[in-house]
């Protein structure tokens, strides 16, 4: 239980890494309580950003300057600068990708962090054992059904199986292909319900099993398959898709983007089941998102 506080105003303070500038950046705002992404879209002028030279670090005067830019004065300005200094120290010492307090509330003449977030860089966790040992692990909030489907997918040879909240089933033959697919679906306004990655070298049987895993989730309204024929042959992938559909006819539409080795043969095989294979990933994603609605 937490003490209920009456805030006169909510602020934002954070440290993150800007991949465009290739350096850390401090972020301050006079608006708090909402996601910083939403804030950037709705109130871009109310956000103050300060790039940080990692060799010179974040200096106290920078925090005071940012406090002044968001309208703070006096003791509140000093407190805000202290908060920013603390966030930088955490960000730097713990290999963080994001450290933020949101909202940072003004309660009387005090600043109080009502909520906070810390995202660590997974690649640096080996340096953070002291911190991680003090964090009590939380059980994942997943149902028994999800875990059983995940275990079954592993038994069928599917390396990556993830369930989310949407209604699009996404299948990719590699990590890069998969991440690109997920990003484009979100950018197009769609939501992934289940995501399967088959790995760099796959077979018709694995493709068939992956179709089975995705369609075992009832909320799957459309399947989006993104395949690049490097190590994989597109005719084999097409056979896996058509083999599943012959054994398990479904009304769920299947959208395929196919490119690379044996691509023409793969398209011909899919055509026998009435499936159009897109060459353009953007068109395939737009079609899948349209069908999901």
Closest Cα to residue 193, out of 158, 159, 211, 218?
Answer: 218
The rounded radius of gyration (Å) of the Cα atoms in the chain is 24
Q: What is the DSSP letter of 137?
A: P
195 assigned to active site: no
Catalytic choice (12, 195, 244, 278) = 12
Asked if 216 and 183 touch (Cβ cutoff 8 Å), the reply is no
**Structure-token match 């089975």, residue found:** 212
User: Residue 168 and residue 189: Cα distance in Å, rounded?
Assistant: 11
Catalytic choice (80, 92, 97, 100) = 100
Q: Tell me if residue 267 falls in helix, strand or coil.
A: helix
Q: Tell me if residue 47 falls in helix, strand or coil.
A: strand
Residue count of the chain, please give it: 293
12 assigned to active site: yes
Active-site residues: which are they?
A: 12, 100
């Amino acid at each position: 239980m937490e003490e209920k506080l009456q805030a006169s105003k909510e602020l934002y303070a954070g440290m993150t890494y800007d991949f465009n500038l290739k350096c850390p950046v401090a972020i301050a705002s006079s608006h708090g309580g909402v996601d910083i992404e939403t804030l950037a879209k709705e109130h871009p002028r109310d956000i103050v950003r300060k790039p940080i030279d990692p060799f010179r670090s974040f200096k106290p005067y920078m925090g005071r300057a940012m406090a002044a830019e968001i309208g703070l004065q006096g003791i509140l300005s000093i407190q805000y600068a202290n908060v920013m200094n603390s966030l930088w120290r955490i960000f730097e010492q713990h290999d963080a990708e994001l450290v933020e307090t949101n909202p940072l509330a003004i309660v009387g003449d005090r600043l109080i962090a009502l909520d906070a977030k810390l995202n660590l860089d997974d690649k640096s966790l080996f340096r953070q054992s002291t911190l991680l040992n003090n964090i009590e692990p939380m059980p994942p909030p997943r149902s028994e059904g999800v875990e059983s489907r995940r275990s079954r997918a592993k038994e069928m040879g599917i390396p990556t199986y993830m369930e989310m909240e949407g209604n699009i089933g996404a299948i990719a033959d590699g990590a890069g292909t998969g991440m690109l697919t997920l990003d484009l679906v979100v950018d197009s306004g769609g939501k992934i319900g289940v995501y399967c990655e088959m790995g760099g070298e796959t077979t018709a049987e694995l493709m068939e099993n992956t179709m089975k895993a995705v369609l075992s989730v009832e909320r799957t309204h459309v399947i989006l398959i993104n395949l690049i024929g490097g190590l994989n042959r597109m005719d084999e992938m097409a056979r896996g898709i058509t083999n599943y559909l012959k054994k398990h006819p479904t009304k769920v539409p299947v959208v395929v983007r196919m490119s690379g080795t044996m691509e023409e043969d793969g398209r011909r095989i899919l055509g026998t089941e009435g499936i159009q294979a897109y060459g353009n990933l953007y068109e395939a994603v737009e079609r899948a998102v349209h069908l999901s609605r």
